[in-house]
Amino acid sequence: MTKGKRESQTSTEIFRFAEARIAIENVSHEIDGGRFPAKTVAEQPFEFFCDIFSDGHDVLHATVTIRPHRKGKNAASVDLEHLGNDRWQGDVTLPEPGMWELEIQAWRDVFGTWRRDTAKKLSAGQDISLELKEARKMVEDALEAKGAPKAATRKNLEALLQRLDRNDDTDSTQTLMSEETFQLMREAQVKANLTTYERKIHIWADREAAAFSAWYELFPRSWGKDGAHGTFDDVIDRLAYVKDLGFDVIYFPPIHPIGKTNRKGPNNTLTAGDDDPGSPYAIGSDDGGHTAIEPELGTLDDFDRLVAAAQDHGLEVALDFAIQCSPDHPWIREHPEWFDWRPDGTIKFAENPPKKYEDIVNVHFYRDAIPSLWIELRDVVLFWIEHGVKIFRVDNPHTKPFPFWEWMIGDIHKDHPDVIFLAEAFTRPKVMKRLAKVGYSQSYSYFTWRHTKEELTEYLTGLTQEECRHYMRPNFFANTPDINPYFLQTSGRAGFRTRMVLAATLAGNYGIYNGFEICEGAPVPGKEEYLDSEKYQLRAWDFDQPGHIKDDIRLINTIRRENAAMRDFTNLNFFTAHDDRVLYYGRMDAATGNYLLFHVLLDPHTPADFGFELPLWKFGLPDDASIEVQDLMHGNRFTWHGVNHRLALHPDARPYAIWRLYPPPGMRT
């Protein structure tokens, strides 16, 4: 390289480096260095944080600009505020569902720096006549600045110059130090050393149901009259029941034709009788595959009527998306290249050596299956979207490739940003999180296996405080057709009541599988499975039987709906109760002034009489202050005095308590 060329290259390099004088880092919603978007809810303000600082001591100014991804229109800008220790914060709201881009910018506020320093010199009685001249120059510069100021600002800057010309130093000092001039110079926005953060931050905004929803799961085939196979019309008749309990989402395991080959019998036996309906997860028969309806349930028209009826009840239908096939699935004939074939010409069954699952064959996602299978699966989802389904619970997504989900969910979301995907991935923590990163709106969790105060506190602290809170939203199912928790097998009614309260108030999304409301817990002995599981046979349910907990469910769902603090699952705080069997926590929403406290007795067998601390300090109140409180179970309002209180909980009478606090207005949190 010639010397001249090298010098010119050096110059170019220096100018390139120099562009980013201000350090911007540690951005709250940047996941894996920008590899994945964070998630939030449209129209709900959230706190956005980053570190911003520069060399020296100049006053800085920073903003975050919000644009719809790949459109660039409708940019809105939010000022960031310095919290201390170089941490900056702004309240950001994404106005509608979809992908958004955030751009962070910071610059040195030259006039603000002058004003701050000149104030100090004035206090020290120093002569500031040169400073006044310097400030006048700044006003002149503002008129000449790149991206010239708006006409109104320009007029005001010119008027300011004229005033300075007329004034003596004392008047000029007053004029230049005034709040009015400060605001005018801020409007003019001379952005010295304007620095743009090197990466755009991507945030996906969901509609609220992605973060806040109450699910009720049922097998439509069990809801028939007098022991008959249930139909969609039977479900229509029971929508009022589900709505009355306070749920938002009614979710069905697969509703598609069920294979006959190797069909499973009751309790997962290998041979089914002629009348056994088989597992709905063995999808596909001569009647069709993933876009068909099991004839015994009804027709596609019946399904459309069910979706419409649910809407009329304020319920959404969620479907199961289970990418697996019975050996009778039409795809095997139509697309042999999607399956693994063995040297003897047979198809490879699902297996977990040495175990084999002979009613299920799995597609593979690579080799000849790409892109045709990926497109077909996307089209299955689009098919049901066209039939009004906007929520999909996905079966075992961790056994399918991450990139498939990332592509498919992204592709669906391009035209349908209101579609919600729940990942049923009971798997290792990092795999669970990756699925959330690649696009899942909600995730099944380890909740059913967390029982003690220590377990729940540690698990929830992780979910609500660690980085994953920005992309993973747990859905706390209290039970599922696959999980009859050991705890509930022996807890009795008190356990069902408290686990429901925990599920519904520790997470934004939660659900129960039917039978829970009547404390159904009979197991296959020694296993975490239901006896006579609906997965393999029809069941007849009597949800009015004595001992049901429908009153609890109604109450909790009402409390969830009526209290703003329940809508953001990250606002959870654990407080001190002096009993290891009592979980004591709060959901605190400062923006709406909505503050709830919960006491839950984790031991379903023995009463507790314990002391607990009222977190007066959360509101900036002294330890001897009083606070108004309402018992949300009974409605009565009264006053708590001081920090220390006692409470008795009893497995039968009152295994939990829920309180709403009314701190004096204006108290900080």
Contact map string, positions 76 to 115, toward a second copy, x by CB under 8 A: ---------xx-----------------------------
Closest to 641 (Cα-Cα) out of 658, 623, 653: 623
We find the least distance from the C-beta atom of residue 198 to a second copy, in angstroms, to be 7
Stretch that binds a second copy, among 66-74, 126-134, 596-604, 631-639 (CB under 8 A): 126-134
CA distances from 600 to 453, 498, 512, 603, 609 (A): 10, 6, 18, 9, 12
For a second copy, give the closer residue by CB, 241 or 402. 402
Phi-psi region of 515 (alpha: psi -120 to 50; beta: other; left: phi over 0): left
346 backbone dihedrals φ, ψ, rounded to 5°: -90, 165
C-alpha span between 14 and 11 (Å, rounded): 5
Q: Does 592 bind a second copy (CB under 8 A)?
A: no
CA–CA separation, 566 and 509 (whole Å): 10
371 prior amide bond cis, ω within 30: yes
304 near a second copy (CB under 8 A): no
Q: Which residues, numbered 23-42, are part of the site for a second copy (CB under 8 A)?
A: 23, 25-26, 30, 32-35
Regarding 123 and contact with a second copy (CB under 8 A), the answer is yes
Beta bridge partners of 349: 361
Structure-block tokens of residue 179: 């709040």
270 near a second copy, judged by CB under 8 A: no
Shortest reach from residue 627's CB to a second copy, in Å: 35
- Residues with Cβ within 8 Å of residue 664, at least 6 apart in sequence: 619, 621, 627
Stretch that binds a second copy, among 13-21, 263-271, 288-296, 315-323 (CB under 8 A): 13-21
Q: Hey, what are 164's tokens?
A: 């300075």
Of 555, 556, 585, whose CA–CA distance to 571 is shortest?
585
To the query of whether residue 424 is one of the catalytic residues in this protein, the response is yes
Annotated catalytic residue: which of 206, 248, 328, 395? Answer: 395
Q: What is the CA radius of gyration of the chain?
A: 31
Cβ proximity to a second copy: between 82 and 305 the closer is 82
* Known catalytic residue at 628: no
Interaction between residue 434 and a second copy (CB under 8 A):
yes
In the stretch 198-217, what mask flags binding to a second copy with x, by CB under 8 A? Answer: xx------------------
Is residue 375 involved in binding a second copy (CB under 8 A)? yes
If one asks whether residue 353 binds a second copy (CB under 8 A), the answer comes out as yes
Cis peptide upstream of residue 354 (ω within 30 degrees of 0): yes
Answer for which of 6, 121, 637, 650 binds a second copy (CB under 8 A) is: 121
| 343 near a second copy, judged by CB under 8 A | yes
Distance of CA 532 to the CA centre of its chain: 34
For residue 595, the minimal CB distance to a second copy (Å) is 33
Stretch that binds a second copy, among 21-29, 91-99, 180-188, 485-493 (CB under 8 A): 21-29
Let me know: does 502 contact 495? Beta carbons within 8 Å.
no
State the Cα–Cα distance between residues 182 and 169, nearest whole angstrom: 18
Task: Return the closest-CA partner of residue 668 out of 619, 595, 596.
Answer: 619
273 binds a second copy (CB under 8 A): no
Number of neighbouring beta carbons within 10 Å of residue 137: 10
Residue 399 engages a second copy in binding (rule: CB under 8 A):
yes
Dist CA 390 CA 450 (whole Å)? 30
Alpha-helical segments (H) within 197-348: 232-245, 300-312, 330-334
- Whichever of 84 and 665 has its CB closer to a second copy, that residue is 84
> Could you say which of 109, 320, 359, 424 is catalytic?
424
Count of residues in contact with a second copy, rule CB under 8 A: 68
Query: CB within 8 A of 290, min separation 6: which ones?
Result: 256, 283, 284, 380
State the greatest distance between any 2 C-alpha atoms of the chain, in Å, as a whole number: 104
Q: Does 15 bind a second copy (CB under 8 A)?
A: yes
Minimum distance of a second copy from residue 345's CB (angstroms)? 10
Dihedrals phi, psi of 506, to nearest 5 degrees = -90, -25
The answer to whether the CB of 136 falls within 8 A of the CB of 128 is no
User: Which C-beta is closer to a second copy: that of 270 or that of 375?
Assistant: 375
CA atoms within 13 A on the CB side of 276: 23
Q: Which is nearer to a second copy, 55 or 165 (CB)?
A: 55
Residues 122/135, Cβ–Cβ less than 8 Å: no
Per-residue x/- mask for a second copy, residues 131 to 160, rule CB under 8 A?
A: --xx--x-----------------------
Task: Tell me if 193 contacts a second copy by CB under 8 A.
Answer: yes
Which residue, 110 or 249, is less far from a second copy as judged by CB? 110
- Applying CB under 8 A, the span of 52-60, 507-515, 544-552, 645-653 interacting with a second copy comes to 52-60
- Least distance between a second copy and beta carbon 174 (Å): 19
The answer to whether residue 4 forms part of the interface with a second copy (CB under 8 A) is no
User: What residues are labeled active site?
Assistant: 395, 424
- By CB under 8 A, name the binding residues for a second copy: 10-11, 13-15, 17-21, 23, 25-26, 30, 32-35, 51, 53-57, 85-86, 117-118, 120-121, 123-124, 126, 130, 133-134, 137, 193, 198-199, 342-344, 351-354, 365-366, 370-371, 374-375, 398-404, 406-407, 411, 428-431, 434
